[in-house]
Amino acid sequence: MTVKLKKTVPAKATPITVVDRAAFQALAPGLPEATRAWLATVGFVGAADSHALVPGADGRLAQVFAGVGHVAHPFALSSLPLALPAGEYRLDDAGLALQAEAAAMSWELGGYRFDLYKPAKREPATLWLASGADAERGLALAAAIAATRDLVNTPAEHMGPAELAGAAKALAAQYGAKYSETVGDALLKKNFPSIHAVGRASMRSPRLIEVNWGNPKHPKLALVGKGVCFDTGGLNIKPGEGMRQMKKDMGGAANALGLATLIMALKLPVRLQLLIPAVENSISGNAYRPGDIIKTRKGLHIEIGNTDAEGRVILCDALAYAAEGEPDLVIDLATLTGAARVALGAQLPALFAKHMDTARDLVDLGLKLDDPLWHMPLWAPYHAGIESNIGDIVNTGKSPLAGAINAALFLEDFLPAQQDWLHVDLFAWNDAPRPGRPVGGEAQTLRTLLAYLEQRYSA
């Protein structure tokens, strides 16, 4: 852990003076002349994600000036842990007062590296913060985000359906939750035929992972995460470049596990049901085929237009099962469509919601928390594009237009009309580095959804 909490922060730690451009302009005239001259020499003006090392009279590091965008930014200090000299630091009272949650989370994630296979070249610098609930919450958020990233970053060789189940089982044990899984041909016996159909071609058995936690008297929340641990595309095989990052196709499941972790750690007053259909979409003699008709738990028959549109096929059984428990709310998280990425890019997950006011609240909350998502419509007239001539529904649209909407409409068919539901089509990946967000797996909308749930289910 790169952040340490203590009631009294050690005075010997090197002070960090946090400023933005305006605060630095106000502070600069009162600084010692030598310090002011040094900062002018190195060009420090308080720009976000910039810093300046200030030496003392003995030539040793005496102070750090750090520029931030604003005091609540979740990655305010993330540029520092791997840039500053190794050692211990503290926040100086002379600068802006960062929110403790943002300070703890941003520093901890600034030191994040996926080093399972390649040892880190150096240890991050350490930040001392005053202990308190806000700082502890920041560390809890950082831990859940880091765990989510680790799951996505782990190669499929070491993160198949069984390993994903192991992560869920460990989480359940940590918080005293009930764990179960339905594996292989047992999926057929327990009426999860579409999950079985997608995963049956792999040597690694498909499964439905389930975790239940909470007080039975509290409102029920069903959380569903797409767990395609590797996606070849099936018989409609992806080209090599399209397959390169498909270890991340379980990013929805990883994010669902991260959100479930925070729900349990923070003891939200909900009765949580976490469901992860976990499969590997592989190719073998018994792989499901284009043109096949797959029966689902709900009884609807899916015509397979393309085996590379497998995520919605496994999610439909999980969503139908979730709805049987009559939850107050269903949320599914899935790396579902390339169309959402074409429309919104890597940083902006697509949100589909039953209720317009809920969608607006979530978009506003995401912008406020710097954990954005963007509302897309469940446009009912497009449903004609996913209707089949020989089945009830087809897993691909009749044209490439509105692909993310078609996928969302497909999922909606497996929930009762009155069921409140949020569908998040996310990327779960950083394609370019930013402070605290290295290239690789990412937790997206996790903080926004948590804040929304806290508002919705406030005690």
- Residue 125 DSSP class: P
Which of 350, 174, 148, 345 has its CA nearest to residue 253?
148
Token pair 């520092």: residue: 80
Helices (DSSP H) in 325-442: which residue ranges? 338-344, 356-368, 403-412
Radius of gyration of the chain, Cα coordinates, nearest whole angstrom = 24
- Residue 86 DSSP class: S
**Phi, psi (rounded to 5 degrees) for 392:** -80, -35
**Please, what sign has the CA dihedral across residues 442, 445, 448, 453?**
negative
Listed in sequence order, the residues at least 6 apart from 87 whose beta carbon sits closer than 8 Å to its beta carbon are 13, 14, 61, 125, 126
Which of 269, 280, 265 has its CA nearest to residue 446?
265
Strand partners, 294: 302
Annotation says 312 is catalytic: yes
Task: Compute how many other C-beta atoms are within 10 angstroms of the C-beta atom of residue 243.
Answer: 15
- Residue 437 DSSP class: B
Catalytic residue, chosen from 4, 36, 169, 238, is 238
Which of 194, 144, 142, 431 has its CA nearest to residue 313?
194
- Residue 158 DSSP class: G
Tell me the C-alpha distance between 278 and 210, whole Å: 11
Listed in sequence order, the residues at least 6 apart from 80 whose beta carbon sits closer than 8 Å to its beta carbon are 16, 51, 64, 66, 89, 107, 110, 125
The pair of structure tokens assigned to 211 is 């975790």
**Phi, psi (rounded to 5 degrees) for 72:** -105, 5
Annotation says 7 is catalytic: no
* Residue 436 burial (C-beta neighbours within 10 Å; 0-12, 13-18, 19+): buried
Report strand pairing: 350-353 vs 374-375: parallel
Catalytic residue, chosen from 200, 298, 312, 354, is 312
Listed in sequence order, the residues at least 6 apart from 409 whose beta carbon sits closer than 8 Å to its beta carbon are 378, 379, 380, 382, 383, 386
Strand partners, 430: 440
Q: Give catalytic residues, as residue numbers.
A: 238, 312
